[in-house]
Amino acid sequence: MSDRERFDTMMEPRIEGLLERSGSKFALVALAARRARDINSYYGALGDGVGAVAPPQVTSTASKSLSIAFEEIAADKIVPIKLPSADEMAAAEAAAAADAAAAAVD
């Protein structure tokens, strides 16, 4: 019996594969932590009938929300999105303002 079979540790999904999907360690931690909080909120609100948070997207035997989040990332059910930088946002706002001004003149 190998060490992998003997000890119940977080060996799956492999960290290397998660890093490939997220792009960086920071992005992986932020994405998994956010999703784990969402999963906790989902389980906390089950009896309330609210349904504002998406349920777990994978079938898992894990009891910890962070482990479920990692499994969702490994299955490509949860993917990171890149938010625009401040410069990109400023350029988009300037372009929108210019379009609005041009439309008002016509």
Here the CATH number for the domain that contains residue 43 is 3.90.940
Q: What is the pLDDT of residue 29?
A: 92
Is residue 7 predicted with pLDDT exceeding 70? no
Q: What is the pLDDT of residue 93?
A: 92
Mean pLDDT, range 9-38, rounded to an integer = 86
Mean pLDDT across the chain, nearest whole number?
82
Residue 106 lies in a domain: no
| 3-state class (DSSP) for residue 43 | helix
Distance CA 11, CA 5 (A): 10
Of residues 95 and 79, which shows the higher confidence score? 95
- Split into its structural domains, the chain has a count of 1
Distance CA 96, CA 53 (A): 32
Q: Is the backbone of residue 51 left (phi > 0), alpha (psi -120 to 50) or beta?
A: left
Residue 55 lies in a domain: yes
Contact between 21 and 73 under an 8 Å Cβ cutoff? The reply is yes
Q: What is the pLDDT of residue 14?
A: 85
**Cβ-Cβ contacts under 8 Å for 51 (sequence gap 6 or more):** 45
Q: What is the pLDDT of residue 34?
A: 93
Q: What is the pLDDT of residue 51?
A: 64
Q: Out of 38-42, 65-69, 79-83, which region has the weakest mean confidence (pLDDT)? A: 79-83
Residue 33 lies in a domain: yes
Mean pLDDT, range 21-44, rounded to an integer = 90
Burial of 47: CB neighbours in 10 Å, binned 0-12, 13-18, 19+: exposed
Domain with 43, as residue range(s), is: 10-81
Residue 103 lies in a domain: no
